[in-house]
Amino acid sequence: MKTRSSLLRRLAIAVSAIGFGQSAFVSLVPLVMERLRLDTFAVGAATAVGAAAFLVGSPLWGRMGERLGHARLLRLLGLAMLAGQAVFAMLLTAGTKAALGIALLMLSRFVYGFAASGVMPTAQVWASRSVADDRRQAALGLLGAGVSMGRLAGALPAAAAVLSPLLPPILFLFSPLLLWLAPGREQSGGQSDAKAVDAGRGISPFDRRALPCLAIGLCLTLGFGQVQMMLGPMVQQRFALGAAQATTMTGLALMLVAIVMVLVQGLVVARLRLAERNSVVVGCVLVCAGMTILAVTASHIVSAAALVVAAAGIALATPGYTAWLMKRLEPAEQGAAAGWLTSTHVLGQSIGALAGGFAFTLWPFAPLAGCAALALAAACLAAMLRKH
């Protein structure tokens, strides 16, 4: 048991590299635009290339973990991510002409995104194999907490720019090395690489065993993606703030969300020990309630409390439907399914960002209403879904 706890803690620290990379890149956008003389469209295009690489790479890497070994694959992915970050760090340090800069930035984001897309599927399957069925949610929740911790730490590169312009690219460059903190060999107690004759079997995302869990994940990420993208404009409109004040408040709100998710996934999920279905239903209802309250309240304190409730719901539901997905499939199919789930999350966040901007133009609080409706739909789907 102690060995398994050590494995999970080290995996959580390792996957924090993903959260760090996501948050740090967003915080460094102003520096990227200044150094490379790019506009917001060019940076958005480079971000889209990275997201596309995630969509393609996740299902492929999910199967490779079964064949190469989870420990070995995480280290190889870390090296590939390091190569992508090296190009990015070179751009931030040296600068270049706009045309070459956007080409290299896109290359960097594609290499990084393609490699990073395999980290969570690999770690999720490894963690799932390391524990008994009734502890799977807690194990996956701990990985989620690690990613959220990485997002919190992702603000460091931007803050370090005040001390030295070289510090942001250095921190960003070496963040993938966190993956080398994962255990150096398989300790899961499941099938070993030598016995994995049938390992890495593919699965369709439309398989009736996987599709409901993927649909729940899509609903939640699509809904929350709308709110994350439009939270700043909504805050500015609701509380009549200036741009600088709204930016500060939005940053504080996103930090609060990350902290709540760390606490819920790292501590609460392990102690509640709810069944997968119950975790998903309760989590989705909390998201629906939080978004509804956030849409109708005009109080700073109540708004913060509503955001906490919604964040807790996301943190509770995510390991629930992830563990449920693993439980519904054969061991050889779990890697590919975890990859499809990662792709689904990226797809939901990307569509949510686009839909949120359009919905905001129709009604300032339409993203909140949309998120509440999608969470309610996910709760109903989970409640109707057969247990096995």
d(CA 114, CA 84): 10
Backbone φ and ψ of 201, nearest 5°: -75, 135
Residue type at 126 in one-letter notation: W
d(CA 117, CA 120): 7
- Is a pLDDT exceeding 70 seen at residue 195? no
pLDDT (0 to 100) of residue 171: 84
Mean pLDDT across 167-193:
73
Q: Which residues touch 360 (CB under 8 Å, ≥6 apart)?
A: 230, 233, 234, 366, 367
Angle at which helices 167-174 and 2-27 pack, to 10 degrees?
140
- Is a pLDDT exceeding 50 seen at residue 190? no
d(CA 74, CA 260): 27
d(CA 39, CA 342): 29
Quote the radius of gyration of the chain (alpha carbons, Å): 20
pLDDT (0 to 100) of residue 186: 58
List alpha helices for the chain, DSSP H.
2-27, 29-36, 40-68, 70-94, 98-116, 119-130, 136-153, 156-160, 167-174, 211-239, 243-263, 269-272, 276-296, 300-327, 334-362, 366-384
Work out the pLDDT band at 217, boundaries 50, 70, 90. Answer: very high
Total-model pTM:
0.88
Q: Which of 64, 70, 192 is nearest to 126 (CA)?
A: 70
Mean pLDDT across 187-209:
62
Instruction: Write the pLDDT tens digit of every residue in 325-341.
Output: 999 998 889 999 999 99
d(CA 286, CA 213): 18
- Is a pLDDT exceeding 70 seen at residue 192? no
Q: How many residues does the chain have?
A: 388
d(CA 56, CA 67): 19
Q: What is the average pLDDT value for the chain, to the nearest integer?
A: 87
Instruction: Write the pLDDT tens digit of every residue in 98-123.
Output: 678 888 899 999 999 999 999 999 99
How many CB atoms neighbour CB 152 within 10 A? 18
Work out the pLDDT band at 36, boundaries 50, 70, 90. Answer: confident
Q: Which of 80, 75, 110, 108 is nearest to 93 (CA)?
A: 108
d(CA 168, CA 149): 18
- Is a pLDDT exceeding 80 seen at residue 165? no
Instruction: Write the pLDDT tens digit of every residue in 246-301.
Output: 878 888 888 899 999 999 999 999 888 889 999 999 999 999 999 999 999 889 89
- Is a pLDDT exceeding 90 seen at residue 305? yes
How many CB atoms neighbour CB 340 within 10 A? 27
pLDDT (0 to 100) of residue 2: 52
Mean pLDDT across 23-47:
79
Q: Which of 272, 276, 343, 332 is nearest to 136 (CA)?
A: 276
Q: Which residues touch 28 (CB under 8 Å, ≥6 apart)?
A: 92, 157, 158, 168, 172
DSSP code for 267: I
Buried b (16+ CB within 10 A) or exposed e, 259-297: ebbbbbbbeebeeeeeebbebbbbbbbbbbbbbbbbbee
How many CB atoms neighbour CB 230 within 10 A? 26
Work out the pLDDT band at 1, boundaries 50, 70, 90. Answer: low
d(CA 256, CA 284): 19
